[in-house]
Amino acid sequence: MKIRIDMTGMRFGRLIGICFAHKSRSGHAHWLFQCDCGTELVAAGGNVRSGRTASCGCLHREICAARLTQHGHRAQHRHDATYRAWQRMKTENEAGVISPAWSDDYARFLADM
């Protein structure tokens, strides 16, 4: 039996080892980690040590969001009146009155205006 590497308290990317979780059927040790965003997740220790798993998934989401911002309207229209109106509409749209396409696509909203 291989000696298990103790990952408790160790930081890998955004993850900090909390405790050993379980051993998978293939024999890989899984650990409970806490991400910097507060999410707890269980991941294979090997993946975390190699950097394949560096967050609960929020890192990936942020990279995607950053890419969208670069090519989309978000950055230059952040203080734009139309953008603010769209944001207000989004928050006020709990009843689902406006078109869902508008609520998640600012470019589409602009085009339709």
How many angstroms separate the CA atoms of 71 and 69, rounded?
6
**Nearer CB in complex with Zn ion: 62/92:** 62
Asked if 18 is part of the footprint of Zn ion (rule: CB under 5 A), the reply reads no
- CA torsion, ordered 68, 73, 78, 81, to nearest 10 deg: -150
Asked if 16 is part of the footprint of Zn ion (rule: CB under 5 A), the reply reads no
**Nearer CB in complex with Zn ion: 32/98:** 32
Within 10 A of 21 (CB to CB), how many other CB atoms are there? 16
**Nearer CB in complex with Zn ion: 29/54:** 54
Residue 36 beta carbon to Zn ion: minimum distance, rounded to whole angstroms = 6
Asked if 37 is part of the footprint of Zn ion (rule: CB under 5 A), the reply reads yes
Residues 44-103 touching Zn ion, rule: CB under 5 A, are 55-56, 58
Query: Where on the chain is the footprint of Zn ion (CB under 5 A)?
Result: 35, 37, 39, 55-56, 58
